[in-house]
Amino acid sequence: MEKNTEQASPNDIKIYQKEVGSLIYLSTKTRPDIAYNVNTCARFMSNLNKIHYQALNQIWKYLNYTPTLEITYSGQSEPYILGYCDSD
């Protein structure tokens, strides 16, 4: 995707930022398969054009087409996920 050479309207920017924010939430909580594409769209949140809206629409279409896509963890008889965090 390329930068927009003209300034987008404040209303378009606000709508785009809301949609990208919703997709960021989805990509971090339930749908990591869209993370790269959402990150690419997020780069243009301050000044967008028609191509960026089309990219967002493609992501929404993909999500509507694959509503049951999921990550399944297996290998033990009972679900067990262990995670660590560094406070630094």
Give residue 8's pLDDT. 77
pLDDT at position 88 is 65
Assess contact for 59 and 53: CB atoms under 8 A.
Answer: no
Per-residue pLDDT of the chain (88 residues; tens, 9 = 90+): 666 667 878 888 899 899 999 999 988 888 888 999 999 999 888 888 888 889 999 999 999 999 888 776 666 666 667 777 777 6
- What per-residue confidence (pLDDT) applies to 36? 93
Are 23 and 56 in contact by the 8 Å Cβ rule? The answer is yes
The per-residue pLDDT for 18 is 93
Q: Which of 27, 30, 29, 8 is nearest to 19 (CA)?
A: 27
Angle in degrees, CA 1, 18, 60, rounded to 5: 60
